[in-house]
Amino acid sequence: MASYALAGTPSVPSGLSPKGITGLGSRLQLAPGPLLTERTLPVLAELAGLFPGSGLPRGGTVLLGPLAAPDTLDSVSGISPNAPPRRAPGLTSLLLLLLAGTSSRGYWCAVVGLPELGLAAAVEMGADLDRLILVPRPGSQGRWQSVVTTLLETVDLVCLAPETPVHPADARWLSARARERRSTLVVLDAAGPPGAARGFLRAGPGRAGRALSRWPGPCDLRCAVSESSWSGLELGHGLLSLLHLEAEVGGRGAASRPRRGHLRLPA
Amino acid sequence: MSPSVRTLVVWCPDWPLVAAGLSDRPAVIVAANKVIASSAAARAEGVRLGQRRREAQACCPELVVVAEDEERDARSFEPVVLAVAGFTSQVELTRPGVCALPARAAARYFGGEAALVEKVCVAVGTAVMAVAGRGGAAAPRPACCVGIADGPFAARLAARRGTIVPRGATPEWLSHFPVEVLDLPELTGVLRRLGIGTLGDFAGLGETVVLARFGREGGFAHRLARGLDERPLALGDPPADLTVCRELDPPADRADSLAFVAVGLAEELVGRLGPHGLAATQLRVEAETEHGESLQRCWRGDRPFTARAMVDRVRWQLEGWLQGPVITAPTAGVTMLRLTVSEVVPDDGRQMDFAGAMAEAGRKLERGLARVQGLLGHEAVLIAKRSGGRGPAEQIRLVAWGEEGEADHGVRDVSFKAARPKGVGERSTRHVRVARAVGGTRDAPPWPGRLPPPSPALVHPVPLPVDVLDSHGAAVGVTGRGTCTSVPSRLLLPIAGSSSVGITGWSGPWPADERWWDPAVARRRARLQVLLEDGTAHLLVLEQGRWCLEATYD
């Protein structure tokens, strides 16, 4: 094993553990470029079974959002307070799991938008904060596109959480850019009016706008959480301790047959 | 061997403190938790450079601690440079607080070196007073020091002592200084152990012997000790075209957008010099505005400029110009930026070490992020650090990318990130810290009363006010003993059209009475985990009788 040989040599700088060495190969190839031979970015072992090739496709666009196509969503726009939520809860946890899997292996990730991301939770899932670039306020129309484009050229995985619906031309451009630079674009697609997707309680009927996907562009993979529930908390005692997620991954090509999996967090 | 240039150096003591308006009280400038500059009042209390922040505060409890800000220093130094530029057009900036000019012609014009020094002292002293007065502080005494000697290195030492070293007497004058003035700790450590204590002793060694034993850096120090020019002249023809220029359309009026343009220019320059094995030690930055105003400054580095160091100089200079006093500030946007390399030296090259290869790869990352920072501003690109705290928001601290975070518990410095160039101490080797592979919560100090993991996946930057009601519709409170006044059963969002949602599970409250010893920052809060009918779980916080939705377990 190369890692053992390296770990024994005296030239290894102090503070670099054998675990760091194994990730070194990937760190040395930080810059995404055509020379990279890997076709996927790593994900956590629990998620590996869900993704074709056991990872996120390099150069691909991954949509985190409802599994249904946008027009189907539109039909439930007259939503009642007891109707199923617009955005399945648990999606943020799924995003954090993806970031944890990628960043902990030494790849650089960036999150554009989403100032409310709970990074303490990310650390608990194993994310490496030193590999996580945050751009919580990417600016207004006309500016965030260049920010995302630059980041796609710079880091391995860019997560975009659009505040408002993305223009189809922008969406196609960003997907093409990701493919060209072989970095992965993850779009946290929150259907519904702004604010409804903020993880506050679901929007009431007064706030329901047209429930459209904010990402009208192409996507290679579509990840969704069909069910999520917390356990451990009772009336007046207990603790939120376990999150059960039913995740589903569909998409094009090898992923055309959707794969489902049950996740328990913390694992 | 060409004789050294007669040089006049203006040195403003404690410049960072003057720029910060803190020169008349005990204050220090801190970078990476180490004191890098201190005021005279702080030194009188026993504060020393290189001390840790805590040690300095222990010496002097009323110490004002300010973070390092090179842009502020450079911006405030601009009026001083203008004052010096009244004497000669050939002002060279070494770093904010120190500038140099060739003394021969000016001394002849102003009636001798002593007369020149006096005039410069008065002019610069007035400018420093004005800068310090703007911050409401008195300038330090002396406000500036001026000295003349052969060569910039000796002139800097002469300025510190406020003397004029007679022509030709520089080697003799230098020979009494301790080797520490070379500011090369690794070299002087060895010299001390070899029993070589003064520059005179060091200069007495043979040049070839020094070069063989201490390499290029030692040879360079040896030249300084002998009072020679800092660098031998570059051999061979330098490339003809060492000017790069960029027209800006539309004109730029912000220093950071210009700095972004300068990144490309600087890399082009370094790229042109590279094939010739040369590196730049002197850089001329020129900017022109729409209305034809122009500004040019010459920067000199003790060590060759890297592209990044060039960009820093451009940014400092343009900050000083664009945000300077109204009389000198340009009236329109900058339309042209030109960088010229006016002095080159053979590039020593640098040996890529094990971590260096990673740094090379990381440079691409730095460039990309610098570009995003150019688009959105420096503070827009963040990296998270772990910090201690009870609430989910307090466990994470966000720092701007590129800013050296203070080393604290359980926090690593960002790997691949080169230490920011520190003016005169510019090193061609980059300090790269190799990331330690650390598990998530290792060596985090305990926080009694902290919420147990898992942490919420969404932490709302602005908590949403909510009402927590019991089964009779009355508001639920938390008693001083840390229990709920009644059983929470419904949660009400103050949004028009939304009804209350039933609570199917709750736990807590977790009281947190923090910083009660300091009324200004004291916070008393209680947190409650709730699970709602719709399956969502939230973290509520009660402060001063008001419930807020602080975070969501999504």
Which is more confident, B327 or A166?
Answer: A166
Cβ burial, residue B543 (10 Å; 0-12/13-18/19+): middle
Contact A147 B376 (CB under 8 A): yes
Number of domains in chain B: 5
Residue B11 shares a structural domain with residue B143? yes
Residues of chain A scoring pLDDT < 50: 1-16, 30-36, 69-86, 192-211
Structure confidence at residue B440 (pLDDT): 39
A135 to chain B: which residues are within 8 Å by CB?
Answer: 372, 376, 380-382
| Chain A residues touching residue B507 (CB < 8 angstroms) | 233-234, 236-240
Residue B45 lies in a domain: no
- Chain A residue with CA closest to B378: the answer is A135
CB hemisphere CA count around B350 (13 angstroms): 18
Do residues B336 and B374 share a domain? no
A241 contacts B368? CB cut-off 8 A? no
**Cα B78 from Cα B101, distance rounded (Å):** 15
Q: Which of B188, B206, B230 is the last residue of a domain?
A: B230
B330 and B250 in one domain? yes
d(CA B384, CA A42) in angstroms, rounded, equals 22
Alpha helices by DSSP H, B86-184: 103-110, 113-134, 152-161, 170-174
Please give the average per-residue pLDDT across B455-472, as a whole number. 86
Q: What is the pLDDT of residue A111?
A: 93
Task: State whether B493 and B516 are in the same domain.
Answer: yes
Q: How far is B341 from chain A (nearest CA, A)?
A: 30
pLDDT at B185 over 70: yes
Q: Determine what percent of chain B is predicted with pLDDT higher than 70.
A: 83
Separation in Å, CA of A237 to nearest CA in chain B: 5
Considering only CB atoms, A202 lies closest to which of B392, B496, B534, namely: B534
B56 in a structural domain: no
| Whether B262 contacts B311, CB under 8 Å | yes
Choose among A92, A82, A89, A65: nearest CA to A204: A82
Which of residues B287, B316, B346 is at a domain's end?
B346
Predicted pLDDT of residue A159: 93
Do B143 and B256 belong to one domain? no
Q: Tell me what pLDDT residue A198 has.
A: 44
Query: Comparing A14-18, B50-54, B427-431, B477-481, which segment has the lowest mean pLDDT?
Result: B427-431
B69 vs chain A: nearest CA distance in angstroms? 23
pLDDT at residue B327, as a whole number: 66
Look up the domain containing B190 and give its range.
175-230
Contact A200 B552 (CB under 8 A): yes
Of the partner residues A81, A117, A229, the one whose CB lies closest to the CB of residue B499 = A81
- Indicate whether B250 belongs to any domain: yes
Q: Are residues B386 and B414 in the same domain?
A: yes
Cβ neighbourhood burial of B199 (10 Å; 0-12, 13-18, 19+) = buried
Q: What does the alpha-carbon distance between residue A82 and residue A37 come to, in Å, rounded to a whole number?
A: 49
Q: Which of B346, B372, B396 is the last residue of a domain?
A: B346
Specify if B429 maps to a domain. Answer: no
Quick: pLDDT tens for B230-240.
655 444 455 66
Same domain, B224 and B328: no
Who has greater pLDDT, B8 or B234?
B8
CA-nearest residue of chain A to B379?
A: A135
Q: Does residue B32 lie within any of the structural domains?
A: no
Most confident stretch, A138-152, B1-15, B536-550 = B536-550
Asked if B492 and B473 count as a contact pair (C-beta separation under 8 A), the reply is no
Give residue A134's pLDDT: 92
pLDDT, position B74? 81
Domains of chain A with CATH codes: 39-265 (3.40.50.300)
Task: Determine, for residues A134 and B487 on separate chains, whether the beta-carbon distance falls below 8 Å.
Answer: no
* Residue among A24, A28, A150 minimizing CB distance to B371: A150
pLDDT at A157: 93
Question: In what side-by-side order are the strands of the sheet with B396-400?
Answer: A259-265, A238-251, A221-233, A61-64, A184-188, A157-160, A109-112, A132-135, B382-386, B396-400
For residue A90, what is the nearest residue in chain B, using CA coordinates? B554
Do B396 and B483 share a domain, yes or no?
no
Q: Measured between alpha carbons, how far is residue B189 from residues B52, B179, B196, B215, B508 in Å? A: 22, 9, 10, 15, 59
Residue A186, pLDDT score? 92
pLDDT of residue B437: 34
Tokens 């204590």: give the residue.
B197
Is residue B155 in some structural domain?
yes
Q: Which of these ranges, A176-185, B106-115, B408-417, has the smallest mean pLDDT?
A: B408-417
Q: Considering only residues 72 to 131 of chain A, which have any Cβ-Cβ distance to chain B shorter than 8 Å?
A: 81, 85, 89-93, 96, 108, 115-121, 123-124, 126, 129-130
Q: Are A153 and A181 in contact (CB under 8 A)?
A: yes
For residue B405, list chain A residues with Cβ-Cβ distance below 8 A.
none
| Contact check, Cβ <8 Å, B495/A15 | no
Say yes or no: B199 and B250 in one domain: no
Q: What is the pLDDT of residue A86?
A: 45
Is there a domain that residue B37 lies in? no
- DSSP label at residue B424: G
- Residue B531: which of A124, A133, A233 has the nearest Cβ? A233
The CATH number linked to B202 is: 1.10.150
Answer whether B431's CB lies under 8 Å from B372's CB: no
Is there a domain that residue B441 lies in? no
- Among B369, B385, B397, B458, the strongest candidate for a mutation testing the A interface, having the largest count of A CBs within 10 A, is B458
Residue A85 has what pLDDT? Answer: 35
Residue B320 has pLDDT above 80, yes or no: no
Q: Please tell me which of the candidates A13, A27, A118 has its beta carbon nearest to residue B456.
A: A118
Q: Please, are residues B411 and B387 in contact by the beta-carbon 8 Å criterion?
A: yes
How far B383 CA sits from the closest chain A CA (Å)? 5
> Comparing C-alpha atoms, which of B380, B377, B376, B411 is closest to residue B396?
B411
Residue B446 has pLDDT above 90, yes or no: no
State whether B499 and B528 are in the same domain: yes
CATH number of the domain enclosing B111: 3.30.70.270
Q: How many CB pairs under 8 A join A and B?
A: 221
Residue A110 has a pLDDT of: 93
Lookup result for tokens 């290894």: A12
Strand order of the sheet with strand B243-252?
Answer: B145-150, B6-11, B98-102, B92-95, B294-300, B278-289, B334-346, B243-252
Is there a single domain that holds both residue B11 and residue B115?
Answer: yes
The per-residue pLDDT for range B362-378, each reduced to its tens digit, is: 667 877 887 787 778 77
Q: What is the mean pLDDT of chain B?
A: 79
Residues B342 and B268 in one domain: yes
For residues A10 and A160, the answer to whether their CB atoms sit within 8 Å is: no
